[in-house]
Structure 1
Amino acid sequence: MASRAAVPLIALVLLAIPAATFAVSPVLWTLETFEDFEKGKPDGAAVAAGGELILAPALRPLKIAALEQTSEPFLWSQTVDGKGTLYIGGGNGGRIYRVPRGAAGSLYYETGDLAVHALAVDKSDVLYAATSPQGKIYRITGEAKGEVFYAPEDRYIWALAFSPKGELYAATGERGIIYKIPAKGKADVFFDSEEFHVVSLTFDQGGNLLAGTDGKGLLYRIAPDGRATVLYDSRLREVNAVVVDPKGVIYAAAIGQEGEISVPPPPQPQPPGPERETPPTSNRPVPPPVVIPGIESGTTATVTVTASAAGPPSGVSSLPRSEVYRIDPDGTVTTLWSSQSEVVYSLALDPSGRPVAGTGEPGRVRVLVGAQQSTLLAKLPESQVTSLISGQGQQMFAASSNVGRVYMLDPATGETGTYLSPTCDAQTISKWGRISWRASVPTGARVEVASRTGNSSIPDSTWSDWSSIYTNPDGSAVSSPSARFLQWRARLARPGGGASPSLLAVSVAYLPSNLPPILKRISVEPPGIVRERLPYAAEPDAQELAFTGIRVNPDTGALTSQPPQLSEKRIFVRGMRALDWDAEDPNGDVLSFDLAFKSESESSWKPLAKALRDSYFGFDSTQLPDGLYRVRVDATDAPSNPAGQAKTASQTSDPFLVDNTPPTVQVTARKAGKDMMVEASATDTLGPIARAEYSLDAGRFVPVAPIDGVSDSRAESYSFSLVSLRAGEHTVIVKVTDLLGNTGAGKATFTSD
């Protein structure tokens, strides 16, 4: 299609495709799925698997003054005795804390080691504690009263379990041995695995020992006589937790990237201590000791937790993948839950026999209710939930790390709970419309919603105060001031003994401000290179054909504001010049482009093209005098906005050379003995000259170098000899091409003897 500007120009505008007009239209931000609500912060509220907010079991921090004073970073293990007394084992200090039922907790015993990774109580409520990296088992009979019960050669004791007959079993690391310990100072190798670490233990209803390993991620079932079978071979590296429900169903958690190999550090000196017992061992070599994150490096070590016995390999920065498996009594294995970002550190059973997972990061407590379905009971301020255990009655205890805290999940549903939504980022200062919600509210229960706004991504003191409570679930005008970010808060309440309300969805409408387009780049194609569009286009997305007067939960990135590109190829057309540019609109508006040009010696811009929809333009430069030029692209979102509300942006290209004049070539030939010497000179107005070739008597053109050896200036001279010529008339043509592809030629005719 041709168009004319202030000077005669033949412009080639390649086909553009119309696109749906977005304009600045209202946006509806809605939270209504489990994934939506999970991004917020519940406090006394739970995110149910079906995607609704309900009141959660009350989460109460336990008062342990000694724990608060020591600022214990890690709590690795818990156990509960027959009286309901809770014991907690930690690190870096290797301390054990005791919390009697209904009373405050206190420091109970100090092992002198760095970490207490396992706790267990026998039928007489005597406490046993396993430590690392000194690898000792303590028998503790009272406050500050304990003794070393067994000290194997292995430095790491990861798990303890009592059999139904009251026999103590210990899972160790470095050689992957499980010991049976019948009495003080005596032990037998019950099972010698082919792994370096056995990290989890429990017994099933048939008295078989279940053991999870680190390395190949195996779950063993070991009969009382020591014969073992692999119950499941996980695709992940470590089976770090295992529990069995009353029906005999096994739940096991696994972590670690597929194919990940533990890389142990160099050996470290053995800590001083009493002489250690030497049980029967295998002949396998002992691997180097492993790192316990945040422990072996000292009490001021970085507080980074991993559930891997051997620690993450060097260079791995992302959280490992984790999965939870369900293994039915008939041996059928299904993946109950998995995550690419969340790590399961602990497993327990709730009073109903459902598996509960403690995860990070951040610390979460989830009830697993079905395939890839969970109810988020609590999101803790700490980074990881490293231990979960059921107490007497309906109680459950959660111990966290980074920092160490202990919580009790009360079986009774709380009477109130709050939920803070994730912040809505409108990308620009916006006018807030109406807020509405869907809820099920039994008699006497309440759901109260309020909002606040601000211009920082994380709410701080610069944000507005919380609004008054909105009363109409069908829609109330948001009273918070215009801003870029909005957050809403829901408060759920029920009367004593009454049913919990449930919040199903919350929506907020807003109108973003119109922002100017963004021009990122202007590129000038090489001379003669243009794009030829093929005679077919991509089929438009069905969504582009639909009415889009209001957008729902848009992505946070810039919206596509340009038409889809046709299939194309690059071709050469002498004299053509082409430009392309990158442009986008923060509001997703359709853009229109005007082009103007001027030479470097001129001050005023002249129109080149108007109302382009494509970000590409080609024109015939032979209509222009030779020289340096620039092109300015003016973008506007006027096609998507009412008159007077459009925004614009401009960007100017780098200077580019228009040169359509070929070089001039002078050729002479003279005799040089029996041969002919050809001399040529070439000049170009703008140059530089790129190459020269000659042809004798219409033969093939042969490249020839300039006398100075380099083609790099507007004037070049050439000299070459023609030998072994036949007698008669000859014609030599010298063809010279400049850098922009213009070609000039000269010739000389002579007679050879």
Structure 2
Amino acid sequence: MNHIPDDPAISLRLMAIYACLLAAGWTTEISAIQPTRWIHTTEADFATGELDHTMVTNLGDLKLAPQVKTIGRTPRKATVIYDLQTVDEEIYLAAGPEAKLLRHQNDSFDTVFTLASEQIFALDVYQGQLLMAISGSTSRLAVLDGDNTEILIELEGIRYIWDVIVDNQIIYVATGTDGKLLRIDLSHPAPADQDHHDPRVKVLLDTAQKNLLCLGRDAQGHVYTGTDIDGLIYRLNPDQDADPYVLYDAAEPEIAALLVLDNGTVYAGTADADQAKHGRLKGEARKETGRPHRGQDQNNGDRQEQNKPLSASPTLTKSSNTPDIKGTSHSTTTNDLASDSPALQKQNSNHKTQSIPAKNGAPSTEQYNELRQVTDAWLTEARKTAISDQPPHSTPESQASNPTRASSSTTSKKRNKRPQTRRKPGNAIYRIGTDHFVSEIFRESVMVLKILEDHGRLIVATGNEGQIFHLDPDAEETTILTALNAQQVPTIFAEGDRLLAATANPAMVVELHRGFAGQGQYTSQVLDASHVSQWGTMHVTAKIPPDTSMAVEVRSGNVEDPERAAWSHWSPVITLNHDPQVPPSTPQRVRIDAPNARFFQYRLGLNGHEHASPVVDRIQITYVLPNLKPRITEFQARYPGKQPGGTTQSKGKPKINATISKHESDLNLLWKARDDNGDQLIFTIECQLAGSDKWILIAEDLSTSAYKWNTNRMPDGRYILKVNASDRKDNAPHLARTATRLSDPILIDNTPPQWIAPHPIQIVDNHVTVKASVRDALSPIKEVHWAIDSHDDWHMVSPTDLIYDSTAEDIIITIPDLTPGAHVITIRAVDLVNNALYKAQFVRID
């Protein structure tokens, strides 16, 4: 919110307001000609209000949000949903911590079966049936046939299956904790001899990292996988014998989500749990930065390809007859691997993977707690290991990556430790083009758990605050679609015109329509004008497409909290409709129908439909504050080196031969003043001699709060100074306000002391005695010295009462042992403001 002074010109409407106020007796209350404005135009401005089915982008656009509703109820013991899949319009969930397969029926999710000491982290569709990747002591792939499970293949030596991709009868499997990528060809029958290696299983990649967490595949058949610990992205061609290579080495230790487009463009999301913190990484955007031009780049066909949907149909469901373009990890929040999945329950959980001892039979609550403790202990150790082994940021943002050869299935799995390097806070989404050019398109204090493509834009599920982001890389636009009442969103799934999101802690499934909600509302924060004010005009800058509209309401009150005391009622609705004659960048004037008050609030009702929403770019409210009296909080007058008031601060016994200080006649006048309206102040200074009733002008039309006054032009005496502050420059003459402040008494003394010698100089032998009085009209005598024959050897004289404390002092000067001849005796008398008297006299010693 910005308070910005308006132009000096006064509109006819404001002139009319002033006339009405004057007639109503507001002459001394409402006066500021220069109005003030509240402006809401950035994400930070709108974020302070209340969003109801509305959302704000990082570019400061306010619009309708998707319609969100909860689908069904999950069993009480299910707190984590690892993956979600639809088959024949039925929704299936892989849930935990006690491994369950759930199916949506009759507005609830019922248990199909429960697994003991195993988990299901990934679901897919294989030949029209639900494919389940079951992790356990003997991991396996199975399909659901009715309510029964049919095992397709058992994977000996594989503890965890993190992700799968189905390509007809070939299934790619990302595993842990040995970091292997498997290619399983189910077009061949199982071997008769189960004791030998199953020829249907081929190890495509055997990495030095413990776990391969996510998979992706492009239209050319290349397979991509992301790792834990080192944050590597591998790419390989399963149909060729060429070694795979590292496509990108991220600074973050874990690649948890991959989205691979048909043309090989890769979006990689990281999930370092230590960087998932509450709140935004940089807060809401607080300034306008413009927006990119969305014209096509003729030289970047890769970029144009990115803006195409994954298929001609908006539906992203999988088919057993077409290659699966699924591109993200099913297990991004579950790679702690424990059935209790503490990583999904802790706000700052770690996502390194590790084998957890299996337990026989259905685990009890005590076993859950024990397993949680075991997992936590391992996570602590794994976190330390991951930090010490954190890779260098080999490919900075906006630099081309340097593909390097990776280990093949026959290469040693020894992993070399690399030095730590500094990295940015938060987690990121990197875009890797087909030319291997890397750019960072997103960074926030969240874990990126899954990424979906939606017609050139990205839908991003995150933790640990249950947020789903919408990214438009070309427009550089980031929006929080919704923040669910859960810690993590492990998976999202696109089906037709809706998105299904599954959460953890607590576990629930929500449906987000791809289009906009039909209605939404935005209520601003309570705006404080600081004083009772007159409201001007509200200007609304918005794009209102056909068949959409926006309703505007306002209210005001004199209590900050509208719920604590009565405000005015919301004003009658003013509706703004689509008008082809009004460009979106042209503000529309809205009359503010609210009583004069200190506090103000507005409410916007957005009405749209699935394909269009009003988009508010800027709200401006103009108001007129009462012209408040300026304030002068301090006024001092001092000579250089002296205390306020012109007096000298004593610093102990004076030095005998000290040179006297210069008499200062320039008096420094200093004051502090402010105007709560922000009006420019001009100052006038006057003085008054003690005992007089007349004020004498010293200076006028000053624009600064300091003035040097030469007092040599003034008669000696005690004065009072007065400074006047006026805001007449920014207000009409009859509406201007002034403030006055007086100084403490000021002494002006430019006259030296007088020498009074009623007795002649006495000379006895070679001794000279001088008796005299020193008098000053205003200032106490400070010191008296004498010197002989113009020498600079001054001798201190004490008064007869031994203390200089008054304007009249008697002195006796005795000068012994003068040599015969003529001499000059010089006497110097100085008052407290350094006016000096010099008295010289000839004497002769015979």
Q: TM-score normalised by the shorter chain: which range applies?
A: 0.5 to 0.7
TM-score, reference length from structure 1: 0.58
How far does the alpha carbon of each residue in 1:641-670 deviate from its partner, in whole angstroms, 9 at most, with x for none? 234422333334455554545578999x99
**Map of 1:268 onto structure 2:** none
**Map of 2:523 onto structure 1:** 420
Hey, what's the Cα distance between the residues in 2 that align with 1:713 and 1:238?
Answer: 81
**Map of 2:65 onto structure 1:** 56
Hey, what's the Cα distance between the residues in 2 that align with 1:683 and 1:200?
Answer: 101
Report the Cα offset of residue 440 of structure 1. 5.2
Q: Say which of 266, 272, 282 aligns to 1:250.
A: 266
Hey, what's the Cα distance between the residues in 2 that align with 1:393 and 1:349?
Answer: 13
State yes or no: 1:527 paired with 2:679. no
Q: Which runs of 5+ in 2 are unaligned?
A: 1-6, 11-31, 148-159, 184-204, 282-347, 351-368, 376-380, 389-423, 578-587, 643-661
Tell me, yes or no, if the aligned pair for 2:516 and 2:611 is still in contact at 8 Å.
Answer: no
**Which structure has the bigger radius of gyration?**
2
SS at match of 1:639: helix
Hey, what's the Cα distance between the residues in 2 that align with 1:228 and 1:688?
Answer: 95
Q: Which runs of 5+ in 1 are unaligned?
A: 1-18, 131-135, 144-156, 172-176, 183-188, 265-270, 278-282, 291-318, 530-571
Amino acid at match of 1:647: R
Paired residues, number: 595
Tell me, yes or no, if the aligned pair for 1:358 and 1:365 is still in contact at 8 Å.
Answer: yes
Q: Say which of 543, 551, 570 aligns to 1:466.
A: 570
SS at match of 2:555: strand
Report the Cα offset of residue 30 of structure 1. 5.1
SS at match of 1:649: strand
Tell me, yes or no, if the aligned pair for 1:347 and 1:355 is still in contact at 8 Å.
Answer: no
Report the Cα offset of residue 470 of structure 1. 0.9
**Map of 1:211 onto structure 2:** 227
Report the Cα offset of residue 162 of structure 1. 5.1
Higher strand share: 1
Greater Cα offset, 35-44 or 729-738: 729-738
SS at match of 1:464: coil
**Map of 1:642 onto structure 2:** 732
**Map of 1:85 onto structure 2:** 92
Amino acid at match of 2:727: D
**Map of 1:589 onto structure 2:** 679
Amino acid at match of 2:108: A
**Map of 1:231 onto structure 2:** 248
Tell me, yes or no, if the aligned pair for 1:338 and 1:372 is still in contact at 8 Å.
Answer: no
Task: Report matched runs for 1:116-515 at 5 Å.
Answer: 120-121=122-123, 126=132, 160-161=162-163, 167-170=173-176, 201-205=213-217, 206-211=222-227, 219-221=232-234, 229=246, 231-232=248-249, 234=251, 242-247=257-262, 248-252=264-268, 324-337=429-442, 346=449, 348-352=451-455, 354-357=457-460, 365-370=468-473, 373-376=476-479, 378=481, 380=483, 389-397=492-500, 407-437=510-540, 441=544, 444-456=547-559, 460-462=563-565, 463-471=567-575, 474-494=588-608, 499-503=612-616, 505-515=618-628
How far does the alpha carbon of each residue in 1:398-450 deviate from its partner, in whole angstroms, 9 at most, with x for none? 57899997643222432222233455443432222344545555554432222
CA spacing shift, 1:200–1:427, aligned 2, 3 Å = farther
SS at match of 2:735: coil
CA spacing shift, 1:453–1:699, aligned 2, 3 Å = same
How far does the alpha carbon of each residue in 1:453-496 deviate from its partner, in whole angstroms, 9 at most, with x for none? 2345565353333222114675443222222333322223346x
Hey, what's the Cα distance between the residues in 2 that align with 1:250 and 1:426?
Answer: 50
Report the Cα offset of residue 49 of structure 1. 7.5
Greater Cα offset, 500-509 or 596-605: 596-605
Hey, what's the Cα distance between the residues in 1 that align with 2:373 and 2:574?
Answer: 70
Hey, what's the Cα distance between the residues in 2 that align with 1:246 and 1:729?
Answer: 114
Hey, what's the Cα distance between the residues in 2 that align with 1:178 and 1:692?
Answer: 98
CA spacing shift, 1:167–1:441, aligned 2, 3 Å = closer
Report the Cα offset of residue 451 of structure 1. 1.8
Hey, what's the Cα distance between the residues in 1 that align with 2:266 and 2:626?
Answer: 55
How far does the alpha carbon of each residue in 1:182-224 deviate from its partner, in whole angstroms, 9 at most, with x for none? 9xxxxxx96557xxxx99942343434323659xxx6554879
Tell me, yes or no, if the aligned pair for 2:34 and 2:730 is still in contact at 8 Å.
Answer: no
Hey, what's the Cα distance between the residues in 1 that align with 2:116 and 2:737?
Answer: 70
**Map of 2:34 onto structure 1:** 25
Tell me, yes or no, if the aligned pair for 2:535 and 2:622 is still in contact at 8 Å.
Answer: yes
Tell me, yes or no, if the aligned pair for 1:213 and 1:238 is still in contact at 8 Å.
Answer: yes
Report the Cα offset of residue 166 of structure 1. 5.3
**Map of 1:548 onto structure 2:** none
How far does the alpha carbon of each residue in 1:594-616 deviate from its partner, in whole angstroms, 9 at most, with x for none? 33445788899765544444333
CA spacing shift, 1:390–1:122, aligned 2, 3 Å = closer
Amino acid at match of 2:572: S
SS at match of 2:553: strand
How far does the alpha carbon of each residue in 1:362-398 deviate from its partner, in whole angstroms, 9 at most, with x for none? 9764322135721535354869776563354554355
Hey, what's the Cα distance between the residues in 2 that align with 1:107 and 1:723?
Answer: 122
State yes or no: 1:104 paired with 2:108. yes
SS at match of 1:413: coil
State yes or no: 1:617 paired with 2:707. yes
Hey, what's the Cα distance between the residues in 2 that align with 1:211 and 1:494?
Answer: 43
Hey, what's the Cα distance between the residues in 2 that align with 1:111 and 1:472?
Answer: 57
How far does the alpha carbon of each residue in 1:58-91 deviate from its partner, in whole angstroms, 9 at most, with x for none? 1224565777x99x9xx8x7422455334577xx
TM-score, reference length from structure 2: 0.53
Hey, what's the Cα distance between the residues in 1 that align with 2:509 and 2:677?
Answer: 47
Report the Cα offset of residue 332 of structure 1. 0.7
CA spacing shift, 1:433–1:693, aligned 2, 3 Å = same
Hey, what's the Cα distance between the residues in 2 that align with 1:658 and 1:722?
Answer: 35
Hey, what's the Cα distance between the residues in 1 that align with 2:9 and 2:620?
Answer: 24
How far does the alpha carbon of each residue in 1:711-736 deviate from its partner, in whole angstroms, 9 at most, with x for none? 99779999999999999877686767
Hey, what's the Cα distance between the residues in 1 that align with 2:63 and 2:753?
Answer: 83
Tell me, yes or no, if the aligned pair for 1:47 and 1:53 is still in contact at 8 Å.
Answer: yes
Hey, what's the Cα distance between the residues in 1 that align with 2:75 and 2:833?
Answer: 82
**Map of 2:335 onto structure 1:** none
Hey, what's the Cα distance between the residues in 2 that align with 1:430 and 1:476?
Answer: 18
Hey, what's the Cα distance between the residues in 2 that align with 1:505 and 1:714?
Answer: 72
How far does the alpha carbon of each residue in 1:495-544 deviate from its partner, in whole angstroms, 9 at most, with x for none? 6x775455555444433332222334434354389xxxxxxxxxxxxxxx
